[in-house]
Amino acid sequence: MASVQPYMYEPESDPESEKDRDGPDPPSQTRLEQAVSEWCTCGNCAVMPTEVENVCCREIRKVVTRMKQVPEPIVCMVDHPGLEPNCLNPYTLQNLHNIYRFDYGPLRRRTEEERFQHLAYRSFVSWCWGFLGRGIRVVIPSCVVRRIRQEFPDLAGQYVGFRPPLD
């Protein structure tokens, strides 16, 4: 079981944005009991293990803002041209690792792929939300979590192609 929990991510930063909590309204009916099509309108979300993670990109204001900042309309955040360079490019994450390590110390993750996943989530959050205060938690949409996991699969021992070392 992977220890990476995207929704637990606490971005760092300026206390000004502490009140700027973002995310969907609490669901009236639990999403774990519903079909994905009941809440996903982008077509790429899937059922996630915990209630709070079952959120579509089109429900999150900060993500929708980014989705509007593209030359051609897109239906889902995974089609955003900024996703690859910000969250999936291993060299971007290699650099991000240096930045975070300098500020917060080394990442303690079991596998290299989990560390890449974690950095990809952090990059996504800083890209969409900016730097937020400690204790603020945001939910990364299901479709984006799936895309990041597809890029950095946590299947032990599976060959995933070349990755630059993080350290």
Residues that bind Zn ion (CB under 5 A): 40, 42, 44-45, 56-57, 76-77, 143
Q: How far lies 55's CA from each of 9, 59, 98, 104, 127, in Å?
A: 15, 7, 30, 28, 18
Phi, psi dihedral angles at 99 (to 5 degrees): -65, -50
Nearest residue (CB) to Zn ion, 76 versus 140? 76
Q: How far lies 73's CA from each of 66, 80, 120, in Å?
A: 11, 9, 24
What minimum distance in Å lies between the beta carbon of 141 and Zn ion?
6
Nearest residue (CB) to Zn ion, 56 versus 87? 56
SS3 state at 111: coil
What minimum distance in Å lies between the beta carbon of 40 and Zn ion?
3
What minimum distance in Å lies between the beta carbon of 50 and Zn ion?
16
Q: Which residues of 18-36 are buried (b: 16+ CB within 10 A; e: fewer)?
A: eeeebbbeebeeebeeeeb
Nearest residue (CB) to Zn ion, 37 versus 158? 37
Nearest residue (CB) to Zn ion, 57 versus 166? 57
Asked whether 64 and 57 are in contact (CB, 8 A), the reply is yes
Asked whether 141 and 77 are in contact (CB, 8 A), the reply is yes
What minimum distance in Å lies between the beta carbon of 42 and Zn ion?
3
What minimum distance in Å lies between the beta carbon of 2 and Zn ion?
21
Nearest residue (CB) to Zn ion, 78 versus 166? 78
